[in-house]
């Protein structure tokens, strides 16, 4: 199942067979996120960065991932339903849609490209969910500002999470070969950057 890839993101920070939890887990994720944001050339506020780190930390437990991802209703339907809701239900539904879409596009974009609708569809809904949530939370300026930033930088944040994906870590020849094959298939510029850094792509032209 697709959620396994997000679990693998945590597997890469396993040490001596033990998964790191708590503050240490967040520290490692934060460092990885900072590197990805730098490569993506996007600057975020500390609050937005904290939000994303917390999101990744919160859903690192594989037992919770199926619940997070395996929603059968189309995303567009869920978004329209969320807009029509009231109070805390509306807030939670919009947050879930924004969070889910951000992580799904960041970690599973290549699979989503093979769907009936393209990734731009999910990008639009994810950004709109955060933007709508920002408007709903006008009485809470801090979170309203965070969600407004997530909405405005949604595409770049997806790119940063893409760089954090374990599928895009070139730590072995086999992983490099897999990245090269994927690049040949979809010509993704971020995969090209990975190959260029490893001195692979230049020899393939």
46-74 pLDDT, tens per residue?
A: 999 999 999 988 765 544 544 545 566 77
Q: Which residues have CB under 8 Å from 34's CB, separation 6+?
A: 49
Beta bridge partners of 18: 15
pLDDT of residue 164: 79
Contacts of 144 (CB under 8 A, 6+ apart): 134, 135, 137, 138
Q: Are 196 and 202 in contact (CB under 8 A)?
A: yes
The more confident residue out of 135 and 70 is 135
For helices 22-40 and 154-164, angle between their N-to-C axes, nearest 10 degrees: 120
The predicted pLDDT at position 170 comes to 54
């Amino acid at each position: 199942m697709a959620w396994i890839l997000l679990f693998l993101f945590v597997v890469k920070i396993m040490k001596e067979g033990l998964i790191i939890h708590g503050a240490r887990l967040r520290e490692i994720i934060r460092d990885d996120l900072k590197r990805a944001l730098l490569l993506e050339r996007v600057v975020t506020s500390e609050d937005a960065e904290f939000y994303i780190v917390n999101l990744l930390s919160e859903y690192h437990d594989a037992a919770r991932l199926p619940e997070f991802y395996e929603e059968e209703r189309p995303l567009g339907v869920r978004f329209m339903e969320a807009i029509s809701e009231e109070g805390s239900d509306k807030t939670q539904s919009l947050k879930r849609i924004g969070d889910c879409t951000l992580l799904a596009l960041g970690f599973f974009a290549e699979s989503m490209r093979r769907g009936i609708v393209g990734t731009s569809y999910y990008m639009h809904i994810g950004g709109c969910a955060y933007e709508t949530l920002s408007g709903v939370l006008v009485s809470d300026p801090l979170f309203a500002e965070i969600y407004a930033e997530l909405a405005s930088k949604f595409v770049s944040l997806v790119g940063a999470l893409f760089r954090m994906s374990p599928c895009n870590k070139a730590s072995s020849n086999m992983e490099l070969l897999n990245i090269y094959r994927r690049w040949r298939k979809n010509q993704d510029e971020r995969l090209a950057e990975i190959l260029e850094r490893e001195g692979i792509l230049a020899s393939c032209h």
